[in-house]
Amino acid sequence: GQDSERGTFSHRHAVLHNPDTGEEYVPLQHVPNQRASFDVHNSPLSEAAVVGFEYGYNVENKGTMNIWEAQYGDFANMAQMMFDNFLFSSYAKWGERSGLTLFLPHSYEGQGPEHSSARLERFLQLSAENNATVVNLSSSSNYFHLLRAQAASLDTDA
């Protein structure tokens, strides 16, 4: 997403910036005994293009966990054609599975109809034949375990 390093709402601070030197520090690149690499990239505000890239990269690199975050609901709305024509239908069309993980906003009260919802009902309508898992996380523990399960499922045909 556009602000992946900092994280717009959750302030996860995946990349720390030294205000004096401009040096960047990525804490998850310094985990002892790590078994995987971690990279985070801010992307341009071009939703369909970026989701298309993430989808294609993930299909070609099965062991990679790609995450795309829609900061606001209208960001997901602008990428809807990629969800419809590739992400949710690729297995039925081409036998290709993607492990692309989407973070979608929902119920940000007072932000207006386009900003506050990624229209999760559309994602529920697209879900069929084990092509997606749609969840509403209520705690950081749910978030952690869901991401862990997603990472563990990579490179499988589940």
Give me the tens of pLDDT residue by residue for the chain, a chain 158 residues long: 556 666 655 556 788 889 999 999 988 888 888 888 888 877 777 888 989 999 999 999 888 888 888 877 777 888 899 999 999 999 999 999 888 888 887 666 556 666 667 788 888 999 988 888 888 888 889 988 988 888 888 865 54
The residue whose two tokens read 């009260």 is 109
Place of tokens 């293009």: 49
Question: Residues near 101 by Cβ (< 8 Å), separated by ≥ 6?
Answer: 65, 66, 67, 68, 147, 150
Domain that includes residue 83, residue range: 42-153
Residue 23 lies in a domain: no
CA distance 100 to 97: 9
Query: Domain tally for the chain?
Result: 1
Examine residue 48 and state whether it is found in any structural domain, yes or no.
yes
Domain with residue 138: its CATH number is 3.40.50.12470
Q: Examine residue 1 and state whether it is found in any structural domain, yes or no.
A: no
